[in-house]
């Protein structure tokens, strides 16, 4: 990475200064004060380099977005070139060259039929846009009673309040009921798995069987509520923030068919799964389905800048056309939506995917991770079954993996394991009781092994 250092490696006081002024997301600051945080000063390839000079493998892709490593020269070059031409201009009433180019590229790689691209700046805003599209669509095709949404239990679609209304996570969202709306929900296959609690749905047949029960619940929901439903929203193939809960591709195909049969839109949130994480460019490809609306963010720019997009079919787009005075336009837009610098990074990111065979490498990395997880995590005394699709990996820390008995949540075992992993020189994340690994797709295979081995040692220490 060519970034100039703003601090001597031993610059004193960063932690102290952080603690004085910053407020970190999803962070209990009383806990934050209890351990020495890492202050990242730069990154090189797959490593984050702290201000004190220590180096850490970026095992969660800087929250699921880095794709080709940090400081990839082709992406930097594209950003530098764009920087000299246009740093920012608005999509409100104007267009710009990188947005048009990126829009074309996205339509070309998206499942056929997703032909319209609306830019925003984060996964959450891409979801808000999808929400407004789905809601307003039905009003404008003469079905204004279709106002509600159905989502998977423990769905996570972002932190803006529309996105929060779609999802529900006990620790994150309890108490927000007065300022959110209620969605209908149905249990994902994971929660219908025979070994519910242990989450042992790693084997394909068990997962297929669980999907049947989940689909039956969706069918009942649609039978009762389709008349008032605008859309089913879901994270396709893998529910990330819930703790890596997989679905079989057949589940997605059935959901698509059920939505069609009940005249309900299907919105797929590919914010986490998109751009290769599941081994294909988009998770929905694995099921061969086309959603009516699809949200992408995170890996879109290779993880370099905040650009997101909501893609829609021409059928959805057409419902928004008409005379100005009909007020059928989508009255929504964010200042930095489709930022040119971010679009240039995204175009370069897609070029690198093609030139470097990133998807093929991601599949090799997935196989390496699978082997290493089998060798090192499966034999841990306090790890539950591994859930993995592509390079998205989760497994639970359990007091007793045989019975599924959990640790008391205040013991923060996964968090402790993630801190222990730092001593091993790797960054992973604990999400509740779940360890999450999601390395950059281009991570060299030996580094993938190192990531798993180090995580296993850290888990062994945190559960000893
Ligand atoms: N949807 C999904 C499936 C996500 O995983 C996330 C973030 N983890 C979001 C939406 C929200 O994205 P952002 O943090 O960029 O707003």
| Centroid of ligand 1 to alpha carbon of 256 (angstroms) | 22
| Residue to probe by mutation, ligand 1, list 158, 275, 278, 300, most atoms within 8 Å of CB | 158
The yes-or-no verdict on residue 395 having pLDDT over 90 is: yes
**What's the gap in Å between 464 CA and the centre of ligand 1?**
33
How far apart, in whole angstroms, are the C-alpha atoms of residue 398 and residue 395?
Answer: 9
How much is the average pLDDT of 216-243?
97
pLDDT, tens digit (0-9, with 9 covering 90-100), for 51-109: 999 999 999 999 999 999 999 999 999 999 999 999 999 999 999 999 999 999 999 99
- Rounded to an integer, the average pLDDT of 382-407 is 94
Summarize pLDDT for 288-344 with one digit per residue, the tens: 999 999 999 999 999 999 999 999 999 999 999 999 999 999 999 999 999 999 999
- CA dihedral over 3, 39, 414, 57, signed as positive or negative: positive
| Percent of the chain surpassing pLDDT 90 | 90
Q: CA distances (Å), 13 to each of 37, 248, 291, 362, in order? A: 12, 49, 50, 39
Which residue intervals of 1-71 are DSSP H helices?
14-21, 29-32, 61-64
Q: How far is the CA of 63 from the centre of ligand 1 (A)?
A: 9
pLDDT-derived band at 173, boundaries 50, 70, 90: confident
Q: Given the CA of residue 239, which atom of ligand 1 is nearest to it?
A: 3
Helix pair 358-372, 445-462: axis angle to 10 deg = 40
Q: Give residue 35's Cα distance to chain centre.
A: 27
Ligand 1 surroundings by CB, under 6 angstroms: 64, 122-124, 127, 156-158, 235, 240-241, 269, 271-272, 297
pLDDT of 128 > 90? The answer is yes
Which residue out of 125, 156, 301, 436 has the highest number of ligand 1 atoms within 8 Å of its CB and is therefore the one to mutate? 156
Predicted pLDDT at 10: 47
The answer to whether 338 and 100 have CB atoms below 8 angstroms apart is no
Give the pLDDT score at 415. 96
What atom in ligand 1 is closest to the CA of residue 64?
8
Tens of pLDDT, residues 86-101: 999 999 999 999 999 9
Beta bridge partners of 308: 120
Indicate whether 283 pLDDT > 60: yes
The pLDDT of residue 194: 59
User: Rounded to the nearest whole angstrom, what is the distance from the C-alpha of residue 301 to the centroid of ligand 1?
Assistant: 14
Q: Please choose, from the candidates 364, 395, 393, 392, the residue with its C-alpha nearest in 3D space to the C-alpha of residue 378.
A: 395
Residue 186 Cα, ligand 1 centroid: separation in angstroms? 20
| E strands, 156-264, in order | 184-186, 229-234, 238-239, 245-246
Q: Rounded to whole angstroms, how far apart are CA atoms 49 and 70?
A: 11
Identify which of 167, 169, 270, 297 to mutate to test ligand 1's pocket (most ligand atoms within 8 A of the CB). 297
The CA 249 to ligand 1 mean position distance, Å, reads: 21
Give distance in angstroms: CA of 62 to centre of ligand 1.
13
Residue carrying the six token digits 């300022």: 179
Residue 315 tokens, joined: 């059928």
**Number of the ligand 1 atom closest to the C-alpha atom of 306:** 15
DSSP 112-171: TTEEEEEEESSHHHHHHHHHHHHHHHHHHTT-TT--EEEEETT----SSHHHHHH---HH
- Please identify, by atom number, the ligand 1 atom nearest to the C-alpha of residue 241: 5
Q: What is the predicted pLDDT for the residue at 200? A: 53
Q: Place 196 in a pLDDT band, splitting at 50, 70 and 90.
A: very low
From the CA of 271, how far away is ligand 1's center (Å)? 6
Question: In this predicted model, what pLDDT tens digit does every residue of 1-47 receive, in sequence order?
Answer: 333 444 454 457 999 999 999 999 999 999 999 889 999 999 999 99
Which range, of 200-214, 247-261, 351-365, 398-412, averages the lowest pLDDT?
Answer: 200-214
Using alpha carbons, select from 383, 402, 430, 413 the residue that is nearest to residue 195.
Answer: 402
Cβ(250)–Cβ(214) below 8 Å:
no
Ligand 1: residue of 65, 121, 245, 272 to mutate (most ligand atoms within 8 A of CB) is 272
CA of 389 to the centre of ligand 1 (A): 18
Answer yes or no: is pLDDT of 197 > 90: no
Provide the β-strand partners of residue 309: 119, 296
SS3 of 173, please? helix
The pLDDT of residue 394 = 96
Among the listed residues 418, 425, 421, the one whose alpha carbon sits nearest the alpha carbon of residue 55: 425
DSSP output for 370-419: HHHIIIIITT-TTB---EEETTEEEEEBEEETTTTEEPPGGG-HHHHHHH
Which residue CA neighbors atom 15 of ligand 1 most closely? 123
pTM of the model: 0.96
Which pair of structure tokens corresponds to residue 433?
A: 């009781």
Cα(122) to centroid of ligand 1, in Å?
A: 7
Identify whether the C-beta of residue 28 lies closer than 8 Å to the C-beta of residue 171.
no
Element (H, E) at 3: none
Mean pLDDT of the chain, nearest integer: 94
Residue with the nearest Cα to atom 12 of ligand 1?
123
Predicted confidence at residue 397, as pLDDT, reads: 97
């Amino acid at each position: 990475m060519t970034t100039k250092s703003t601090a001597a490696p031993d610059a004193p006081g960063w932690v102290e200064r952080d603690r004085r002024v910053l407020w970190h997301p999803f962070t209990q600051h009383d806990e934050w004060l209890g351990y020495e945080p890492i202050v990242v000063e730069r990154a090189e390839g797959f490593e984050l380099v702290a201000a004190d000079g220590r180096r850490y493998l970026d095992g969660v892709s800087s929250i699921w977005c880095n794709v080709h490593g940090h400081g990839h020269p082709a992406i930097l070059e594209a950003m530098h070139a764009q920087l000299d031409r246009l740093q920012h201009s608005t999509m409100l009433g104007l267009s710009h060259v990188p947005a048009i180019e990126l829009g074309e590229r996205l339509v070309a790689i998206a499942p056929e039929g997703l032909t319209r691209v609306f830019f925003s700046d984060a996964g959450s805003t891409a979801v808000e846009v999808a929400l407004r599209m789905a809601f307003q669509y039905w009003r404008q095709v003469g079905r204004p009673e279709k106002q509600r949404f159905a989502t998977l239990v423990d769905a996570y679609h972002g932190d803006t309040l529309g996105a929060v209304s779609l999802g529900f996570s006990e620790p994150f969202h309890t108490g927000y009921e007065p300022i959110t709306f209620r969605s209908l929900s149905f249990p994902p296959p994971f929660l219908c798995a025979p070994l519910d609690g242990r989450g042992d749905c790693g084997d394909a047949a068990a997962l297929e069987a669980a999907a049947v029960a989940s689909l039956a619940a969706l069918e009942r929901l649609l039978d009762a509520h389709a008349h008032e439903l605008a859309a089913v929203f879901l994270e396709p193939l893998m529910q990330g923030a819930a703790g890596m809960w997989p679905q079989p591709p057949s589940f997605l195909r059935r959901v698509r068919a059920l939505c069609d049969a009940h005249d309900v839109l299907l919105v797929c949130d590919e914010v986490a799964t998109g751009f290769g994480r599941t081994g294909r460019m988009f998770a929905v490809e694995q099921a061969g389905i086309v959603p009516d609306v699809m949200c992408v963010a995170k890996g879109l720019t290779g993880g370099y800048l905040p650009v997101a997009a909501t893609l829609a079919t021409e059928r959805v787009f057409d419902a928004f056309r008409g005379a100005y005075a009909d007020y059928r336009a989508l009255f929504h837009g964010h200042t930095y939506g489709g930022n040119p610098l971010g679009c240039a990074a995204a175009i370069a990111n897609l070029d690198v995917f093609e030139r470097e065979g990133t998807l093929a490498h991601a599949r090799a990395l997935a196989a390496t991770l699978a082997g290493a997880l089998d060798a090192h995590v499966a034999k841990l005394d306090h790890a539950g079954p591994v859930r993995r699709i592509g390079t998205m990996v989760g497994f639970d820390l359990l007091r007793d993996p045989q019975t599924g008995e959990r640790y008391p949540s205040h013991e923060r075992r996964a968090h402790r394991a993630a801190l222990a992993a730092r001593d091993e020189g790797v960054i992973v994340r604990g999400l509740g009781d779940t360890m999450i690994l999601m390395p950059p797709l281009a991570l060299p295979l030996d580094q993938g092994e190192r990531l798993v081995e180090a995580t296993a040692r850290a888990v062994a220490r945190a559960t000893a």
